[in-house]
Amino acid sequence: AQKVTQAQTEISVVEKEDVTLDCVYETRDTTYYLFWYKQPPSGELVFLIRRNSFDEQNEISGRYSWNFQKSTSSFNFTITASQVVDSAVYFCALTLMNTGFQKLVFGTGTRLLVSP
Amino acid sequence: DAGVTQSPTHLIKTRGQQVTLRCSPKSGHDTVSWYQQALGQGPQFIFQYYEEEERQRGNFPDRFSGHQFPNYSSELNVNALLLGDSALYLCASSLGQGVYEQYFGPGTRLTVT
């Protein structure tokens, strides 16, 4: 069975601080995808990134960056120079490649509060 | 380009009743997945529909059923509602059966009293 753990329930930072959201996953499969989604108060999950298990290269997109380390089964997400608009719940998710369909297994989420 | 739409936005039902939630996928998408998100939790996979068939099911009882129509829209039905069914129900659409990003709708907030 697959499992995603987001140990940080809530993080509070002041605007312009950097913040890292942790994600640890468990799977016995060697081929899988990892995702990050953002859920603002409106409720709609917004896709941020997808990485496959073959590609451990870190990725940067503007103020967002992701660190994927298979050795520690972690896929951490860093927001640089946080802004108030970054306040939301962030979910890490996992799916297997070889099932023929896509079932996302989500963590419990980390609520990020960015104050001015 | 319309995204994923869901209706209704909010719903209040009484224990024992039945409810139907609706979802229209993003234009061009043919696969619909349903998730239940309890308060303070991550979404839990209910089932996925592709080519009008249920392709896979999560750990949910038979009270949860669904349907996909030829235009790819989908319904989620829940019978004999329990208080524990109160949650945000999210619909996600994607293209085909590969691993592509799923686009989520705004959800339907169901409250069972």
What's the pLDDT score for residue B21? 98
Non-local CB neighbours of B27 within 8 Å, separated by 6+ positions:
B1, B2
Query: What are the φ and ψ backbone dihedral angles of B84, each rounded to 5 degrees?
Result: -70, -10
What value does the mean pLDDT of chain A take?
A: 92
Nearest Cβ partner of A45 from B48, B90, B100? Answer: B90
pLDDT of residue B61: 96
Cβ <8 Å between A101 and B56 = yes
Taking the CB of residue B112, how many other CB atoms lie within 10 A of it? 19
Does A103 have pLDDT greater than 90? no
Q: What is the mean pLDDT of residues A8-28?
A: 97
pLDDT of residue B42: 95
CA distance A81 to chain B (A): 26
Q: CA-nearest residue of chain A to B4?
A: A44
pLDDT at A100: 63
Closest by alpha carbon to A91, among B49, B23, B104?
Answer: B104
* CA dihedral angle for residue B42, residue B66, residue A47, residue A24, rounded to 10 degrees: 40
Residues 6+ apart with CB under 8 A from A58: A65, A66, A67, A68
DSSP character at residue B85: G
The rounded distance, in Å, linking the Cα atoms of B92 and B22 is: 12
State residue B6 phi and psi, 5-degree precision. Answer: -135, 150
Report residue A77's pLDDT band, with 50, 70 and 90 as the boundaries.
Answer: very high
Mean pLDDT of A71-86: 96
Q: How large is the average pLDDT for residues A37-49?
A: 92
Contact criterion met (CB below 8 Å) for A64 and A77: yes
- Percent of all residues in chain A with a pLDDT value above 70, rounded to a whole number: 97
pLDDT at A43: 86
Specify whether the CB–CB gap between A6 and A27 falls below 8 A: no
Question: B103 to chain A: which residues are within 8 Å by CB?
Answer: 47
CB A4 within 8 A of CB A23: yes
CB contact under 8 A, A101 and B50: yes
In one-letter notation, the amino acid at residue B54 is E
- 3-class DSSP state of A84: helix
Predicted confidence pLDDT, tens digits, chain B (113 residues): 679 999 999 999 999 999 999 999 999 899 999 999 999 999 999 999 999 999 889 999 999 999 999 999 999 999 999 999 999 999 999 887 666 778 999 999 999 99
A109 in contact with B, Cβ within 8 Å? yes
Max CA separation in chain B (angstroms): 39
Closest Cβ–Cβ partner in A37, A44, A95 for B99: A95
How close A43 comes to chain B (CA, Å)?
Answer: 6
Q: Is B18 helix (H, G, I), strand (E, B) or coil?
A: coil
| Residue % of chain A over a pLDDT of 90 | 73
